[in-house]
Chain A
Amino acid sequence: MSAVDAAALERLRRIGGADLVRRMIELFLSHAPERVRALRDGADAGDVDAVERAAHMMKSSAGNVGADRLMKAAEAIESAAASGSIARDVVDQLVHEYGEAERVLRQALEESDG
């Protein structure tokens, strides 16, 4: 599984052209850091509800832009939080996956500029 599934971006392009791809990536990149922070802070504070909410938002947004590994990590965190535990190791993994997805998505934005 790559950091970002090219087929997902292609699907967005088919639905709404290059403009939709760009706007979806931009929206994702503008909200994601705040969600990553909320996840980390929630995990540090032992706040399972905050972790579950942030993971849920991240799961849905990551899926829209094809950031599948990030989505899987968010899903695992959400489901652990729903049963009352904080998957700290997966939170660390998610932070890493976000970095990877961000890099690929920024590259896709630059390519669409060119």
Chain B
Amino acid sequence: MTRIALVEDNADNRLLVRAICEDLYELDEYETGAAALSGIEANPPALVLLDISLPAMDGTEVLRRLRERESLRALPVIALTAHAMAGDREKYLGLGFDAYVTKPIVDETVLLGEIERLLRERS
């Protein structure tokens, strides 16, 4: 089963994403950016779901540090964010995220569709 990582500090969002993904993917869960960076580097997944509003080190900083590592530069990363303001999609894609999915996840097929699309592109 393809393994993906979820970086999310909200327990309820982790539970929901796990419920959405668990039949299709193996999920590594991280609550902080720091834990995610070391875990992902030690055991790289096929894709990362990365929350933007993380305490201490936010998602954009986690992405920047992932991209600094040669081996992780091409890792597909989806921004998961509740910052649904006009222009956000362009902003996050411009920062180097491969896709952008807004929370709350009202349609799980959007998230699954983006995961599948990016995994297919990289395969």
Same complex for A and B? Answer: yes
Chain A residues proximal to chain B, CB less than 8 Å: 8, 11-12, 15-16, 20, 23-24, 27-28, 31, 56-57, 59-61, 63-65, 71, 79
Assembly CA distance A23 to B11 (angstroms)? 11
Determine if A60 and B104 form an interchain contact, defined as CB atoms under 8 angstroms apart: yes
Q: A59-B82, A60-B104 are in contact. Are A27 and B19 (CB under 8 A)?
A: no
Determine if A15 and B82 form an interchain contact, defined as CB atoms under 8 angstroms apart: no
Q: B103 — which chain A residues lie within 8 A by C-beta?
A: 60, 63-64
Chain B residues with a Cβ closer than 8 Å to the other chain, count: 16
Find residues 87-123 in chain B having any chain A CB closer than 8 Å to their own CB. 103-106, 108
Assembly CA distance A57 to B83 (angstroms)? 11
Residue of A nearest to B83 (CB): A56
Q: A61 — which chain B residues lie within 8 A by C-beta?
A: 10, 12-13
> A24-B16, A60-B82 are known contacts; what are 10 more A-B pairs with Cβ within 8 Å?
A8-B106, A15-B108, A16-B19, A23-B15, A31-B11, A60-B104, A63-B103, A63-B106, A64-B12, A65-B12
Identify which of B10, B11, B20 contacts A15 (C-beta below 8 A): B20
- Smallest Cβ distance from A22 to chain B, in angstroms? 11
Q: A24 — which chain B residues lie within 8 A by C-beta?
A: 12, 15-16
Determine if B12 and A71 form an interchain contact, defined as CB atoms under 8 angstroms apart: no
Determine if B15 and A60 form an interchain contact, defined as CB atoms under 8 angstroms apart: no
Assembly CA distance A8 to B105 (angstroms)? 10
Identify which of B12, B19, B108 contacts A31 (C-beta below 8 A): B12
